[in-house]
Every structure is written in structure tokens, then in C-alpha cells.
Amino acid sequence: MAREPRLQKGSDMPITRRDVLRTGALGVAGLSMPFVRPSWAQSGPVKFGLLLPYSGTYAPLGEAVNRGLDLYLASKGGKLGGREITFAKVDDESAPPKATELTTKLIQGEKVDILFGTVHSGVAMAMVKIAREEGLPTIVPNAGADAITQAMCAENVFRTSFSNGQVGFATGQAMLAAGLKKVVTVAWKYAAGDESVAGFKRAFVKGGGEALKDIAVPFPDVEFQSALAEIASLKPDAVYVFFAGGGALKFIKDYAGAKLGIPLWGPGFLTDGVEKAAGEAGDGVKTVLHYVQSLDNPENKAFVEAFRGAYKAEPDVYAVHGWDAGQLIAVGLEAVGGDVSKRKELNAAMAKASFASPRGPFKLSSSHNPIQNFYLRELKGGVNQYLGVVAKELADETTGCKLA
């Protein structure tokens, strides 16, 4: 059924599929040459193709990624490698069936020089498949599907976020370190949930912990009473949970309502974006992620301040992914002096990139997934408190990647 794209409430930048030709965003608002095909003219703008969810469940994430990228460009005066930047933006609606068509539209129709996308792992997989064939320099600024930097890795595909297994692994390490022995996992039954739990077990079970049971909830169900009843009967030391957004909020509240008295743990997606809404129910929830807003480093302070100034809102981990996508492509474009036709050199420069991210030091593994620090946080009074470093410069596995 063909759905018309629609404007999202609360977005200051409503963009739909139809606005593919529309360019311009904060920071590059001065640009006014949207339709120039730049590959022959190295003085013209470089065209970034953005495949992001601007509507649907993941719209806030897509917008945060976009804002982070815009903000970085603005901090560089809208120019990278001596060239101005224009945008072609497509709303992917987090709908995998449409991904192939929309990616092709950006590459063939818009003739973008660099591809950015996306949030939903299924859409990202379809996009990466095409990007590999086309050889187009591509940056994945959020989707965590393990395969993107494992079996499907490619010279021209880079990720500035995380892989699902990597975050699960770090969380497993933190739970071991906290002295927890017996754990029940609860996750949505889809790729991201499965990969997250698998990553968790790779650390936790191999390190001597025991996973009593894996409870899989059909996606995107938010009826958790059966899971809670099982947890009560299994009496684990802690519960490892992978949910995000509305489902995460519901779980945190239902979990508090069940009065189990069992510590709740999970990857940071459990609390990010719902800190305030969780209220008292969220107090004491411990999560592990590669970012927390209160990180004490100069890059993060500058980033947080710039973000607040530009958007009158608090930055989150997704905005960091977008910001670092900007940093990464900047490294590439500087290396080739803005000549995007030198793809080999551009890719090679990005593969070797190493810079200070708001999340801490950032570089890429041989399969182009970030090697990054992971932090333990505890939710208290609607704010994630920084508790310490769980893993320093943790790299994900590169299983099946021929670059490795």
C-alpha cells in the first residue's frame, strides 16, 4: 500500500521523499547551487546524499543524525576539502522494501558524490548492498547491523556509530565486572535484538557468567507481563534488556511496577531519549554505551555547547554519530583536496582516520567499524550519570570480512 510521506510533528525540518531536490540546511543555508553536477568541476559543491528516516518511529533519530552532521559542517564554515557541500535528502521511512529504489534514486538520479544512511538496519543493509556495487564512498551514521562491518564489509563502506554485537559485548563485560553471575535476557525478536544478545553472551557466558534464559518478545509488541512473570520465577542476579524508544520506556515502567528488586541492565538504547519520561521508574537502571552527555573532554564540551546553541535542545548519541560522520568525511575530502573522483585515496584516508570525537578517541577497525570506549551509566532523577569506563578502545569482531 502506497503511503504518502508526511510531515512529522515537532520537527523543525520537515522533509519528505518528495523533497529529494530540496537542499539546504542549517549551516549551509547560504548555498544556492543545488542542481550542479560537480564531478567535472572540482570548484563546485560536493553533493551529499542523505538516506534517513524523516518520518515514522525512527524520525527523531534521523533528525538527530542530520543535525549532528549539519552542525559539524557549520563549524567548518560549510566547506570541506575546500569545496562547498550540497544535500539531496530522502526519507527512507524505515521501510526496507523501499530501500533499494530510494538508494538507486540518490545514486543514479541525484548523482550524489557521498552517501550517508541510515538508522534502520534492514534499510541500511539494502543500501550498503548497492553502495558496494557502485563503489560510492558511504558512511553509515547509525544502523548497528553486525553484517555491515562483518560479512558485508567493503572498502568504501564506513560506520561512525557501533555494531549491535559490540554494544552487547561491552555490556556483558560490565555486568561480569559488577559481579553478576546469573542473567535473563529480554529482547525484541529481530536482527538487532538477536545480535545484541549474541554479543552480550560472547562476553558474559565466555567470562563465566550464566544466561538462564533468552526471552524474545515479538517486534514491536510492548506486552511484557509474561516476560516479567518468567523473570520473577527464574530469580536471576540481573536482567539484560534490549529495547529502544517507546518499547524501552514501557518496559522500564512495567519492570518497576513488577517490584522484582532485580537490577535492570542493558545497552544504552534502553534509556537514551526516555530519561525524563521514565521518571522514578528509571532510577537505578544501569546501561552501557559509547557516549554519555556528561563526558569530560574538550571535544564533547564544545559539541554539547554548539548543539544547545543551534537547536535549543540536548544532544544525544545519535547526534554524535552524525557529527562524527562529518568528521570522517572531512578527513577523506581533505586528503584528496575535495576531488571526489579519487575514490581510492578518499576511502584509504577515511580508513586510517583517527580523531577526537565527543565520545572519546575515534578510529576505525580493519572492517571500518569504530574502535571506541564504552562507558557505564546509571539513570538517576531523569539524567544518565557517568560511572566510569567499561572498555577502552573496544573493537568489534571482523568475522567474515575480507578486508580484515
Partner 1 sequence: MSLYFVQILNGLQYGLVVFLAASGLTLVFGVLGVINLSHGSFYMLGAYAALTLTSLFGDIFVALALGLPLAFLFGMAIEWLFIRHLYARDHLQQVLLTFALILIFNEVQQSVWGNNPLSIPTPPYLARSVMITGALGYPVYRIVLMAICVALALAMVFVIQKTRVGRLIRAAESNREMVEALGFDSRILFRLVFAAGVALAAAAGILAAPVESAYPGIGDRVLITSFVVVVIGGIGSIRGAFVGSLLIGLADAFGKVLVPQFSSVIIYALMALVLALRPAGLFGRA
118 binds partner 1 (CB under 8 A): no
Distance between CA 177 and CA 288 in Å, rounded?
12
Nearer to partner 1, 30 or 218 (CB): 218
Per the CB < 8 A criterion, the answer to whether 170 and 146 are in contact is no
- Per CB under 8 A, contacts with partner 1 among 21-80 are 55-57, 59-60
Closest separation in Å from C-beta 130 to partner 1: 26
Answer for which of 218, 298, 309, 388 binds partner 1 (CB under 8 A) is: 218
Nearer to partner 1, 37 or 235 (CB): 235
Q: Which segment (44-52, 149-157, 229-237, 341-349) binds partner 1 by CB under 8 A?
A: 229-237
Q: Which segment (70-78, 220-228, 334-342, 396-404) binds partner 1 by CB under 8 A?
A: 220-228
212 binds partner 1 (CB under 8 A): no
Answer for which of 33, 151, 177, 229 binds partner 1 (CB under 8 A) is: 229
Number of residues that bind partner 1 (CB under 8 A): 36
Per the CB < 8 A criterion, the answer to whether 377 and 386 are in contact is yes
Distance between CA 89 and CA 278 in Å, rounded?
33
Answer for which of 14, 44, 96, 246 binds partner 1 (CB under 8 A) is: 246
Nearer to partner 1, 2 or 30 (CB): 2
Distance between CA 404 and CA 401 in Å, rounded?
6
DSSP 6: -
Nearer to partner 1, 155 or 254 (CB): 254
372 binds partner 1 (CB under 8 A): no
308 binds partner 1 (CB under 8 A): no
Torsion of CA 365, 370, 371, 376, to 10 degrees: -160
Nearer to partner 1, 260 or 371 (CB): 260
Per the CB < 8 A criterion, the answer to whether 190 and 156 are in contact is no
120: amino acid identity, one letter: H
45: amino acid identity, one letter: P
226 binds partner 1 (CB under 8 A): yes
Q: Which of these, 43, 186, 45, 17, lies nearest to 113 by C-alpha position? A: 45
Q: Give the ranges where 163-224 is alpha helix by DSSP (H).
A: 164-177, 191-204
Q: Which segment (158-166, 253-261, 370-378, 379-387) binds partner 1 by CB under 8 A?
A: 253-261
18 binds partner 1 (CB under 8 A): no
Strand partners, 374: 391
> Counting runs of H as helices and runs of E as strands, what totals does the chain give?
11, 15
Count Cβ neighbours within 10 Å for each residue of 234-268 and write b for 16 or more, e otherwise: eebbbbbbbbbbebbbbbbbbbbebeeebbbbbbb
Please identify which residue in the block is written with the cell numbers 544478545.
197
Nearer to partner 1, 8 or 163 (CB): 8
Which three cell numbers, joined as nine digits, stand for 209?
557468567
Per the CB < 8 A criterion, the answer to whether 393 and 373 are in contact is yes
Distance between CA 191 and CA 347 in Å, rounded?
28
Nearer to partner 1, 63 or 396 (CB): 63
Closest separation in Å from C-beta 381 to partner 1: 19
283 binds partner 1 (CB under 8 A): no
245 binds partner 1 (CB under 8 A): yes
**What are the residues binding partner 1 (CB under 8 A)?**
1, 3, 6, 8-9, 55-57, 59-60, 215-216, 218, 220, 222-223, 225-230, 232-233, 235, 245-247, 249-250, 254, 257-261
